[in-house]
Amino acid sequence: MARFARSAHVARKERSEALARGLFFVMSITMIVPLVAIVGYLIFKAAPSLSWEFLVDIPRRGMREGGIWPAFVGTLYLVGLSLAVATPIGVLAAIYLHEYAKDNWFNRVINLAVINLAGVPSIVHALFGLGAFVYAARFGYSVLAAALTLAIMTLPVIIASTREALASVPMAFRVACWNVGASRWQTIRSVVLPNSISGILTGVILQVSRAAGETAPIMFTGAVFFKAVRRGDLFPYGLDDQCMALSMHLYTVSTQVPNVQESIPYATAVVLLGSVLAVNATAIALRVWLRNRKRW
C-alpha cells in the first residue's frame, strides 16, 4: 500500500494542523479554567458569611460586621429605575434604526453615536451624570441622578439587542403585511414586535445585569458609603435620597474600611457576582429556548 502512504508534505501539513488545533484549544481554555478556579476560591473564602442573615441584615460596627441589606435594596432601586427609563427609549430607538431609517449619512451618524455611547468609559458617564443631573438639573446626589446616569450608560445594550431581535424577523413577514395594506406601524405592532418580543426581553435582562454591576457611574451621582436603613426594609429610599449599592459596597469594604471581618468583602463579591451571572444565565436560557422554538 506504499502508493497511498503519506508523503512528507502531507505529514508536515497534518502536524501543523494538529499543532494549531491544540494551541488554539489551549488558548481558549487558558482564560476559562483559572477564572472558574478564582470564582471557586471566592465562594470558599465567602462561605463563613454567606447566609440569609447576611443578605437581610444591615452593616454593623462601621461595616466591619453584619450584612448588606441597604446595598442590596439600593441596587434593586437603581436597576429598576434605570430600566424604566432606558427600556422605552432604547426599544423605540432600535425600532427607528431598524424599521424606519434608510441607509443615508444621517443614520450612519446615529449608528456611530450609538457605538460611541457604548464605548464611552464608565467614569466619563459618571462625570456626565455629575455635571448634567446632579448640578445642571439640580437633582442633587440622589437615586434619581444615579439611575438616570445608569440608564444612559446601558442604553446601547438595549438598542443593540433589540436591533438583533428585530433583524431576526424575516423581511418576507413585513412584505406580506404591507401587501395586505397595513401601514408601517401596523406591521411593526402586529407582526414584527410579536415575533421579536422575547429577543427584546433578552436585551432588557442583559441591561439589568450591566446596570447592577456598574460602580463608577453611581459613585459620584448618588451612591454613598453608608446609609442607615432598617433591617429588611423594602422601601428605604426616596427618589431624592442617596443610597447604597452592592457594587459600591464591595469597593468600600474592600478598600476603604480597615479591619473588616475577612469573609465580608468576599461574601459581598459573591452575592454581586452571583446575582449578575444568574440574571445573565436567565437571558441566555431564554435565548436558547427561543431558538429551539423558532418555526422559520
Partner 1 sequence: MRADVAGPGPRPRRPAIEVAAERLLEGVIRLFGVSAIGFVLAIFFFIFREAAPVLFSREFHLPEFLFSTQWYPTSESNVRYGTFALTIGTLSVTSVAIVLAVPFGLGAAIYVSEFCGPKLRETLKIVIELLAAIPSVVWGFIGLTVMSRITTTLTGAPVGVNLLNGGVILALMSVPIIVSIGEDALKAVPDSYREAALAMGATRWQTVHRVLLPAARNGLLAAVLLGVGRAVGETMAVLMATGHAVQIPHGLLDSVRTLTANIAAELGEAPAGSDHYRVLFLTGTLLFLITFVINFTADLAIRGVRRE
- Binding positions for partner 1, 47-66, rule CB under 8 A: none
The smaller minimum CB distance to partner 1, of residues 188 and 229, is found at 188
Per-residue binding string, partner 1, 229-268, x by CB under 8 A, is ------------------xx-xx--xx---------xx--
Nearest approach, Cβ of residue 206 and partner 1 (Å): 8
226 is an interface residue for partner 1 by CB under 8 A: no
Burial 188-207 (b: 16+ CB within 10 A, else e): beebbbebbeebbbbbbbbb
Nearest approach, Cβ of residue 176 and partner 1 (Å): 20
CA distance 105 to 280: 35
CA distance 242 to 251: 17
CA distance 237 to 268: 21
110 is an interface residue for partner 1 by CB under 8 A: yes
197 is an interface residue for partner 1 by CB under 8 A: no
Per-residue binding string, partner 1, 12-31, x by CB under 8 A, is -xx-xx-xxx-xxx-xx-xx
The smaller minimum CB distance to partner 1, of residues 229 and 250, is found at 250
Residue 14: partners with Cβ closer than 8 Å, 6 or more residues away: 6
Nearest approach, Cβ of residue 178 and partner 1 (Å): 15
220 is an interface residue for partner 1 by CB under 8 A: yes
Query: Residue ranges of the alpha helices (H) in the chain?
Result: 8-30, 33-46, 52-56, 69-95, 105-119, 122-129, 143-167, 171-179, 184-187, 193-213, 216-219, 246-251, 263-293
Among 43, 76, 85, 132, binds partner 1 (CB under 8 A): 132
Among 6, 11, 38, 190, binds partner 1 (CB under 8 A): 38
Other Cβ atoms closer than 10 A to 47: 13
Number of residues that bind partner 1 (CB under 8 A): 86
Please give the DSSP secondary-structure letter assigned to residue 243. Answer: B
Residue 224 C-alpha from the chain's centroid: 22
289 is an interface residue for partner 1 by CB under 8 A: no
159 is an interface residue for partner 1 by CB under 8 A: yes
